[in-house]
């Protein structure tokens, strides 16, 4: 992985008794236009407020608790200690649980991709897993904890890389039962209609090239932004650095493969389980929020908005 790519997470891929130290790198970025809210009178950023929905009054963080609604208007209160007790435990591992045929994974389950890169001299065993997946036509299903949340994920070979694609859980994907869809098959389609449709598909067919497709809205807005930047109307945002956990250790490949084939299950040298958060997680804001903005933006000098 290029040195310019920042490692977001360090750990290890595990299957059988094999341990492959790896780091995760973002494989996709959000390129949409991010509109912040500003006070037009002074160009100050507009911040958050916690509002009681019934009274409309602002309340302090100390008076906010977390509740789960079990009936309309009825809640069960969950304390920070109770939440911490059920946090998923993390051992900094991408733990492979099953290998499936690559064609079995429906696109609807795919959520967020990460590039997986070898670290701590694990290139050989990394390449072995990648090529084994290519030769067998399989992908790996694994579980991983990232930022206190447990994810189901697919480990997929892609050229020289392995890609970890976070997946939606089965109960997060809606069924088709509520949709009024035509029955599968060609019963309602005439041969002439099918012939013309296939001809149109053939005429519009081409190769996949992501550079052929642009976000025109973003392009036009950013042109306007560039124009305003030249006029001196800018905002500066400082992004906080993310903490990176320690990596796992690499073990002897041949010995672990042999032991795995003999029925071994638990990875040797596995880091002890810890609470993913490492400390009590801060309570989420349960009350209504008003207009939002990035609070890290530096305050500019007051100025009039452009016409």
Residue range 101-117, pLDDT digits in tens: 999 999 999 999 999 99
Residue range 152-202, pLDDT digits in tens: 999 999 999 999 999 999 999 988 888 888 888 888 889 999 999 999 999
Question: 95, 100, 106: which is closest to 133 by C-alpha?
Answer: 100
Residue 214 pLDDT > 80, yes or no? Answer: yes
Percent of the chain with pLDDT over 70: 73
Q: How confident is the model at residue 235 (pLDDT cuts 50, 70, 90)?
A: low
Domain positions in the chain: 9-170+214-289
Distances (CA, A) of 141 to 129, 155, 251, 271: 13, 6, 22, 21
The domain defined by 9-170+214-289 folds into Ku70; Chain: A; Domain 2 (2.40.290)
pTM score, whole prediction: 0.60
Distances (CA, A) of 191 to 148, 194, 229, 264, 290: 55, 5, 58, 57, 57
């Amino acid at each position: 992985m290029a040195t310019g790519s920042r490692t977001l997470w360090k750990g290890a891929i595990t299957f059988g008794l094999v341990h492959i130290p790896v780091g995760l790198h973002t494989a996709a970025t959000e390129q949409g236009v991010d509109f912040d809210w500003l006070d037009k009178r002074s160009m100050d950023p507009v911040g958050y407020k916690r509002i009681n929905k019934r009274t409309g009054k602002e309340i302090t963080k100390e008076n906010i608790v977390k509740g789960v609604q079990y009936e309309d208007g009825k809640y069960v209160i969950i304390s920070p200690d109770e939440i911490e007790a059920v946090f998923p435990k993390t051992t900094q591992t991408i733990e492979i649980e099953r290998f499936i045929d690559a064609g079995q994974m429906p696109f609807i389950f795919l959520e967020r991709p990460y590039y997986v890169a070898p670290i701590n001299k694990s290139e050989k065993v990394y390449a072995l897993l990648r090529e084994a997946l290519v030769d067998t036509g399989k992908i790996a299903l694994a579980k991983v904890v990232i930022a206190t949340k447990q994810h189901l994920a697919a480990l997929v070979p892609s050229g020289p890389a392995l890609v970890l694609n976070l997946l939606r859980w089965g109960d997060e994907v809606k069924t088709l039962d509520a949709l009024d869809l035509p029955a599968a098959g060609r019963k309602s389609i005439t041969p002439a209609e099918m012939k013309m449709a296939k001809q149109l598909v053939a005429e519009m067919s081409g190769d996949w090239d992501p550079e052929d497709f642009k976000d025109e809205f973003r392009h036009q807005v950013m042109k306007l932004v560039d124009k305003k930047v030249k006029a001196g109307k800018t905002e500066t945002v400082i992004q906080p650095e993310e903490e990176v956990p320690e990596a796992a250790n690499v073990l002897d490949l041949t010995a672990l493969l042999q032991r795995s084939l003999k029925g071994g299950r638990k990875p040797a040298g596995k880091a002890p389980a810890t609470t993913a958060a490492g400390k009590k997680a801060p309570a989420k804001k349960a009350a209504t929020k008003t207009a939002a903005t990035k609070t890290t933006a530096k305050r500019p000098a007051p100025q009039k908005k452009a016409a």
